[in-house]
Amino acid sequence: MQTIKFSRFGFILAAVGSAVGLGNVWKFPYVTGEYGGGAFVLVYLITALFVGVFVLIAELLIGKLGQSDAVSMFEKLAVNNGKYWKFAGFIIIVPLIILSYYSVIIGWIFHYIVISFTALPSSIEESKEIFMTLLTSDVETQLFYHTVVFALVMGIILRGVKDGIEKINKILMPLLALILTILFVYSMSLDSFSSAVSFMFNPDFTKLSSTAVIVAIGQAFYTLSLGMGVILTYAASLPKNTNIVTSSLLITVIDTLVAVVAGLIIFTFLFDQGAESTKGPGLVFISLPAVFYEFGSIGTVLSISFFVAIAFAGVTSAISMLEPMVSYLISRFNYTRQKAALICSLFFYILGVLALLSNITEYSSFMMIGGKGLFDWLDFLASTILVPIGGIMAVLFVGHAMDANRINEELIPLLGKTLTKVWFFMVRYVIPAALVIVILNETGIFKF
Is residue 68 close enough to count as binding ligand PHE by CB under 6 A?
A: no
Contact range with ligand PHE by CB under 6 A, out of 133-141, 209-217, 315-323, 346-354: 315-323
Q: Which residues contact 164 (CB under 8 A, 6 or more apart)?
A: 156, 157, 158, 319
What one-character DSSP code corresponds to residue 369? E
Q: Which of 67, 127, 317, 420 binds ligand PHE (CB under 6 A)?
A: 317
Contact range with ligand PHE by CB under 6 A, out of 16-24, 68-76, 276-284, 388-396: 16-24
Q: CA nearest 351: which of 375, 325, 369, 331?
A: 375
Contact track, ligand PHE, 171-190, x by CB under 6 A: --------------------
Is residue 321 close enough to count as binding ligand PHE by CB under 6 A?
A: yes
- Give whichever of 21 and 66 is closer to ligand PHE, judged by the CB atom: 21
CB 385 → ligand PHE: shortest distance, Å?
Answer: 14
Contact range with ligand PHE by CB under 6 A, out of 290-298, 300-308, 317-325, 367-375: 317-325
CB 357 → ligand PHE: shortest distance, Å?
Answer: 23
- Give whichever of 311 and 407 is closer to ligand PHE, judged by the CB atom: 311
- Give whichever of 23 and 352 is closer to ligand PHE, judged by the CB atom: 23
CA 378, CA 384: separation in Å to the nearest integer? 10
Contact track, ligand PHE, 85-114, x by CB under 6 A: ----------x--x----------------
Q: Which of 91, 115, 183, 228 binds ligand PHE (CB under 6 A)?
A: 228
Q: CA nearest 329: which of 346, 316, 343?
A: 343
CB 21 → ligand PHE: shortest distance, Å?
Answer: 2
Q: Which of 18, 47, 268, 345 binds ligand PHE (CB under 6 A)?
A: 18
Contact track, ligand PHE, 207-226, x by CB under 6 A: ---------------xx-x-
Calculate the CA 8 to chain-centre distance: 22
- Give whichever of 228 and 434 is closer to ligand PHE, judged by the CB atom: 228
CA 25, CA 313: separation in Å to the nearest integer? 8
Is residue 320 close enough to count as binding ligand PHE by CB under 6 A?
A: yes
Residues in contact with ligand PHE, total (CB under 6 A)? 16
Contact range with ligand PHE by CB under 6 A, out of 22-30, 128-136, 139-147, 174-182: 22-30
CA 311, CA 280: separation in Å to the nearest integer? 20
Is residue 19 close enough to count as binding ligand PHE by CB under 6 A?
A: yes
Show contacts with ligand PHE in window 231-250 (CB under 6 A).
Answer: none
Q: What single-letter amino acid sits at 88?
A: A
**Residue 373 host element (H or E):** strand 372-373
Q: Is 445 exposed, middle or buried (CB count within 10 Å of its CB: 0-12, 13-18, 19+)?
A: exposed
CA 384, CA 427: separation in Å to the nearest integer? 20
What one-character DSSP code corresponds to residue 90? G
Contact range with ligand PHE by CB under 6 A, out of 17-25, 79-87, 187-195, 297-305: 17-25
Is residue 24 close enough to count as binding ligand PHE by CB under 6 A?
A: yes
Q: CA nearest 382: which of 337, 426, 352, 412?
A: 352
* Contact between residue 287 and residue 279 where contact means Cβ atoms under 8 Å apart: yes
Q: Which residues contact 398 (CB under 8 A, 6 or more apart)?
A: 58, 61, 62, 407, 427
Contact range with ligand PHE by CB under 6 A, out of 15-23, 143-151, 359-367, 389-397: 15-23
Q: Which of 23, 36, 121, 388 binds ligand PHE (CB under 6 A)?
A: 23
Is residue 22 close enough to count as binding ligand PHE by CB under 6 A?
A: yes
DSSP 139-153: HHHHHHHHHHHHHHH
Contact range with ligand PHE by CB under 6 A, out of 139-147, 160-168, 276-284, 313-321: 313-321
Is residue 441 close enough to count as binding ligand PHE by CB under 6 A?
A: no
Q: Which residues contact 173 (CB under 8 A, 6 or more apart)?
A: 13, 16, 17, 20, 312, 316
Q: What single-letter amino acid sits at 2?
A: Q
CB 383 → ligand PHE: shortest distance, Å?
Answer: 7
Q: Which residues of 377-408 are buried (b: 16+ CB within 10 A; e: fewer)?
A: bbbeebbbebbbbbbbbbbbbbbebbeeeebe
Is residue 439 close enough to count as binding ligand PHE by CB under 6 A?
A: no
Q: CA nearest 307: which of 126, 169, 176?
A: 176
CA 119, CA 279: separation in Å to the nearest integer? 22
Distances (CA, A) of 92 to 127, 186, 260, 371: 37, 40, 29, 28
- Give whichever of 214 and 319 is closer to ligand PHE, judged by the CB atom: 319
Contact range with ligand PHE by CB under 6 A, out of 14-22, 158-166, 246-254, 360-368: 14-22
Return residues touching ligand PHE (CB under 6 A). Answer: 18-19, 21-24, 95, 98, 222-223, 225, 228, 230, 317, 320-321
